[in-house]
Amino acid sequence: MLRQAWWTVSALMVFTLLIAAHAPARAADAEIDKILRSPVGKDWVTNGGNLTNNRYSTLKQVDTTNVGKLKGAWMTRLKGSGTGGKYSFEASPLVKDGIMYVVTGNDDVFALNAKTGEIVWEYRSGIDQTISTICCGWVSRGLAMGEGQIYVGQLDANVVALDMKTGKVAWKTPIEKWQNGYGITSAPLYYDGVIYTGMTGGEFGVRGRLTALNAKTGEIMWRWYTLPAPGEKGSETWPPGTDHSMRGGAPIWNTPAIDPELGLVYFAVGNCGPDYDGSMREGDNLFCASLVALKAKTGEYAWHFQQVHHDIWDYDAASPVVLFDTVINGEPRKGIA
C-alpha cells in the first residue's frame, strides 16, 4: 500500500513538472507587455511608443479638421530643474493611467497629473554638477516603465528605478564610472522583466556596450561589448596589437527595439573614437556605426550591418532603430530602419 502511494505521488509530481515545463511563459508585467506589443492607444509606456519604436498613435481625436484649434491646457514649472544654459530637453513623456512622467536634462523625474499638470511626486537625481565628460550637453532622452517602476539612465552612468506611485528609489545600479568617460543619455527599454541600456562617451575613449539588468532588483544580467576583444568576432577589423577594445568608442546613445517573435533586441551603435581621425585605427572598425541584433534573453550575437565602414565623418545613426512588417513579392517580411 505504501509502495502504491509512493508511486502515485511520484507520478503526480512528474505530471505536474511536465505541465510546468510546457506551459507558456508569463510576462513579468503582463499589462505593460501587452501594451508594448500593441499599436499605441491612450497609454504611452516606452520612449518609442511600443517595442518597434515606430512612434505611431492610433488615437483619432486630433485630425486635419481640428488641429488648428488646439491650445494649451496647462503649464507647470518643474521647480527650476534643467533650465540652465547647459541643459537640453529631448525626452518624450510617458503616460499611464492619467499620470505623465517626464525627465529633465538634470535627470530629475517628475510625475504629473496629465489633466491638470499638478506635480504628484518628484525625484531629484543629486547628480554631480562637476561632471566634465559630456560631449553634447546635459540631456536625457527619456524613461522606461514596467514592474510598477519608472527607470532612468543618468549622466553619471547609474540606472535608477523609481516607484511609480511615490517616486521613491527602488534600486540604483552603477554601470560604470563617469570619471572614465561613461554616461547614459538614452531612454532605457523595458521588456519582460529586463531593462536594456546603452552608454555614451565615444569621444572620451570608452568601450561601448549594451547592458541588461533585472528590472526588479537592478542586478546586471549580461553585457555585450560593441568593441570586440582580441580573437572575438570583428576584432580582425582593427589594427592588431592595439587596445581598441578598451577605448575605441562605439557607444549606444539611442533606445533599442525588440521583436518578441524573433526574440531579438536591435540597436544602433555610435561613432568610433577619435571620431574624425582614423589614422590609428585602420580597417572597418566593427561595430562602430552599425546596426546590431542580439538574442534578447542572453545577449548572444545574432547579426550586424555596418552602415559606415571606417567612419571618419561621425556618420553614426542619429535616431533609434524602427521595426516594421511589410510584403515583398507577395511574401511577408520583417524590416528594420
In a domain, 23, yes or no: no
Q: What letter represents residue 319's amino acid?
A: S
For 292-308, b/e burial (b = at least 16 CB within 10 A) is bbbebeebebeebebeb
Cβ-proximal residues to 309 (8 Å cutoff; 6+ apart), any chain:
284, 285
The whole-angstrom separation of Cα 244 and Cα 210 is: 17
Produce one character per residue of 48-60: b if its CB has 16 or more CB atoms within 10 Å, e if not: bbbbbbbeeeeee
What is the total residue count of the chain?
A: 337
The model's confidence at residue 25, banded by pLDDT at 50, 70 and 90, is: low
161 is a domain residue? yes
Domain span at residue 118 reads 28-56+80-125+133-336
Do the domain assignments include residue 106?
yes
Above 80 in pLDDT, residue 337? yes
Which helix (H) or strand (E) segment holds residue 112: the answer is strand 109-113
Structural domain total, the chain: 1
- pLDDT of 137: 85
Q: Residue 78: what are its φ and ψ, rounded to 5°? A: -90, 45
Q: What is the CA radius of gyration of the chain?
A: 22
11 in any annotated domain? no
In a domain, 328, yes or no: yes
Look at 15-19, 51-55, 144-148, 316-320 and tell me which has the smallest mean pLDDT.
15-19
Q: How far apart are CA 137 and CA 105, in angstroms?
A: 9
pLDDT band at 26 (very low <50, low <70, confident <90, very high): low
Is 22 a member of any domain?
A: no
In this predicted model, what pLDDT tens digit does every residue of 251-270 receive, in sequence order? 999 999 999 999 999 999 99
Burial label, 281 (beta-carbon count in 10 A; 0-12, 13-18, 19+):
buried
- The CA-based angle 215-220-225, given to 5 degrees, is 120
Quick one: DSSP state of residue 91?
P
Point out the catalytic residue in the list 277, 314, 316, 325.
314
Annotated active-site residue 316? The verdict is no
Residue 274 CB: number of other CB atoms within 10 A? Answer: 16
Residue 269 burial (10 A CB sphere; 0-12, 13-18, 19+): buried
Q: What is the pLDDT of residue 41?
A: 94
Mean pLDDT lowest for which of 80-94, 117-131, 163-177, 260-274?
A: 80-94
The span from the CA of 272 to the CA of 138, in Å, is 21
8 inside domain: no
Q: What CATH number does the domain containing 260 carry?
A: 2.140.10.10
Does a structural domain hold residue 261?
A: yes
Q: Locate 99 and state its grid cell.
A: 499620470
